[in-house]
Amino acid sequence: MTLNLALIGLNHKTAELDTRERASFHPEKLPEALRELVERPGIQETMIFSTCNRVELLSRVKNSAQGLESMEAFLREKSCIDGEQLREKLYRYSERQAVRHVFRVASSLDSMILGEPQILGQVKSFYNVAVQAGTIGTYLNGLLQAAFHAAKRVRRETSIGEYSVSVSSAAVELARKIFGDLRGMSILIVGAGKMGKLAATHLRATGVRSVRVANRSPQAARELAAHFHGEAVPFEELTKWAARSEIVITSTGSYELLVDYARAQQIMQERKNTPIVFIDISVPRNVDPNVGTIDNVFYYDVDDLGAVVEANLQERRKEAALAEKIVEQEVDSFCARLHSLDMAPVVVELQTRIQEICQVELDRFFKKAGPRDPQERRELEVMISRIAGKIAHPLITQLRSTDHDPLQQAAYLDTLKRIFKLQKDSES
**Which positions are annotated as active-site residues?**
52
What residue type is assigned to position 80 of the chain?
C
Interatomic CA distance for residues 210 and 309, integer angstroms: 26
- What is the β-pairing status of strands 5-11 and 54-61? antiparallel
List b or e across 179-207, with b for residues whose CB sees 16 or more CB atoms inside 10 angstroms.
beebeebbbbbbbbbebbbbbbebbbeee
Report the length, in residues, of the chain: 428
Q: Residue 391 to residues 355, 360, 394, 420: CA-CA distances in angstroms?
A: 9, 16, 7, 12
